[in-house]
Chains A and B, each alone.
Chain A
């Protein structure tokens, strides 16, 4: 069949009350909550992979990282998250999600998630905010609950853009990876839950390990990009996430630091966090400093750095490996393939490519406490939503639930919005252009080539790992200038099949996200979160001038990005640079 033959592509229209884009952690909980409270609403989930194993949870989880262990409260959680995020968060958002941790965790436990309990039936804490789970099958458990709730699920449909009825979001369009189909989803409200963005910078590993990243390489920031194109306000992209991870395997380190109390040491065996960063909390310093500290050690010639596990027993070493098998199995194979036993050898660590992730940091949609974005009819939940760091799985569930309740209420009694055909035709052309180009353009640009170009620009001018994550105004100007060239080349992308069409949309979404990210990095003229945002020209934190959220909005009419400042509001009293007291351990 001629690939350019437009007749060969079916058009399928679905009308629903609520459309959920992304059937991941947040999306599944949004669907179940909606069907529970509003059983008559027609709820559709559209997912680019298969809900059973899509998104961040594909490999599994071994802990719920945000939970109120005995003695903790939503207020104590806000205080801690505020400290961990260097004094600037949306306290209203963080508090509202903390209030739902227990509700959401109990819900998922009822669906069958094994949570570790002590002899008295209490959850086993790991630090102040974590509980241990056997979460290898967490994603299939969530997916089953979403399916059983009666929500209609469309797997393997890649969403490429939102549909609008004037200023109001009225649905989305996408294409199928499996059949020649263009999907038109019309809806009274849309909840976007597509996760954060990986792949903006050069990955840590190359060639056939290029996707050996920590964050899901398949989460490309599509949800950010769609919102940006529709004129939604975004916040705090400049608080990038640079994670401290194990060397090469790029596995999470909480299992080592919190699980077995492994301290950070440099090549000389010095506990540099305890000496140089003692005033900030030492080994318990805010997360950005636990990335910044090792980066400085390596930069100044005292690398490599390690999490020192050599105090643990062989039995603990086995337990450690078991914990990784629930979440990140390749770490266990990495040790085996490199003759490393964590009881004998300290575990080498490195920092990752920078990600934009609203669940660990706070880059994402600017939302109100109901998770409503600035575009009417469009809600955001999970890693795609901004302002509320330290979300993790349970915070993503909570946000899915909050968005669902508000969206359900909003659409009751509402009429189906109108979408004009011209808009749908334009979206169709835009969606399939790279595929149609196959028979039109002799030489074109492959998605992979554009991705590498993007990553090169970001790496070198916008603070990549090889530049110690550092940046200044002049370099950022270069990034802005080079990135501006890429959108003009979108019409030169050429692909042969629907899988590569997905890759094409991934890269063009990444370019849009990167452009906005650079504007954010440029706007914040202070260094609030070292490593995440190290401005060599403004190296200090500046509360007097910068206790603000940096937001951006792209004007859909002319594509211009403007910066908007929003003041920070302190709701919970107390020293913003103090973690708050941990509750006293009950004495037996």
Chain B
């Protein structure tokens, strides 16, 4: 399983209908469950490992590990966007537990917690 939303850390972005993780996935793979108010990766087999979801989550609630066939447990890679939005610090932990940090210059644009839908049509998730 590639990216995993940690239900203990996800707050559903409060009452957002289209939280950042849902909006930023280029494959429409993440869904928010409005009963539990948590997001989850619904289409596990379709993930590209591209990470916009991970970078956009304000709670840093999405964990990135590789599919097991690709690499050993418990290696992880987590980005942290600095407050100035000019840098990201990536923390990479290898399978033996050693960690390495990288600071990368960037220009992260603000990501809203929610966004209105096109034409103001009410979403209908029942279909």
Contact = CB atoms under 8 A, between A and B. Distances in A.
Interface of A: 1, 3, 8, 10, 12, 48-50, 52-55, 58-59, 112-114, 134, 136-137, 140-141, 144, 154-157, 176-181, 205-213, 216-218, 248-249, 318, 321-322, 325-326, 329-330, 332-334, 336-339, 435, 497-499, 502
B27 A218 contact: yes
A339 B124 CA distance: 46
B102 A337 contact: no
B67 to A, nearest CB: 4
Given A8-B127, A217-B48, A338-B71, A178 B117 contact: yes
Q: Which of B26, B69, B88, B94 has the most CB of A within 10 A?
A: B26
A137 B23 CA distance: 15
B48 A339 contact: no
B28 interface: yes
Given A208-B44, A336-B75, A53 B107 contact: no
Q: Which of B93, B95, B102 has the most CB of A within 10 A?
A: B102
Contact of B107 (A48, A141, A205, A336): A141
B22 to A, nearest CB: 9
19 contacts: A53-B24, A58-B48, A136-B55, A137-B108, A141-B109, A155-B23, A178-B117, A178-B123, A180-B124, A207-B67, A207-B69, A208-B67, A209-B2, A212-B48, A216-B26, A217-B27, A218-B26, A330-B49, A337-B66
Given A217-B27, A329-B77, A334 B70 contact: yes
For the complex of A and B, list the 7 residue pairs with the smallest distance between their C-beta atoms, beginning with the closest: A337-B71, A337-B75, A336-B94, A53-B52, A59-B50, A179-B121, A333-B77
A181 B108 contact: no
A212 B52 contact: no
Contacts of B64: 329-330, 333
A333 B65 contact: yes
B34 interface: no
Interface in B62-94: 64-67, 69-72, 75-77, 79, 88, 90, 92-94
B1 interface: yes
A248 B72 CA distance: 13
Nearest to A219: B26
Contacts of A50: 23-24, 26
A49 B27 contact: yes
A337 B94 contact: yes
A208 B95 contact: no
B70 A337 contact: yes
B51 interface: yes
Q: Which of A156, A181, A330 has the most CB of B within 10 A?
A: A330
A210 B29 CA distance: 14
Given A334-B71, A337-B75, A211 B127 contact: no
Categorize the interface residue count of chain B.
35 or more
Contact of A248 (B50, B70, B100, B122): B70
B109 A333 contact: no
A140 B93 CA distance: 28
A452 B46 CA distance: 14
B8 interface: no
B102 A318 contact: yes
Interface in B1-43: 1-2, 18, 23-28, 42-43
Contacts of A326: 104, 106
A180 B107 CA distance: 36
Interface string B115-127: 0011101111011
Q: Which of A177, A180, A206 has the most CB of B within 10 A?
A: A180
B107 A217 contact: no
B107 A208 contact: no
Contacts of B93: 336
A152 B72 CA distance: 45
B46 A211 contact: yes
Contacts of B127: 1, 3, 8, 180, 435, 497-498
A178 to B, nearest CB: 5
Contacts of B49: 212, 329-330
B82 to A, nearest CB: 13
B61 to A, nearest CB: 18
B54 to A, nearest CB: 9
Contacts of A435: 127
B23 to A, nearest CB: 5
B95 A338 contact: yes
B89 to A, nearest CB: 10
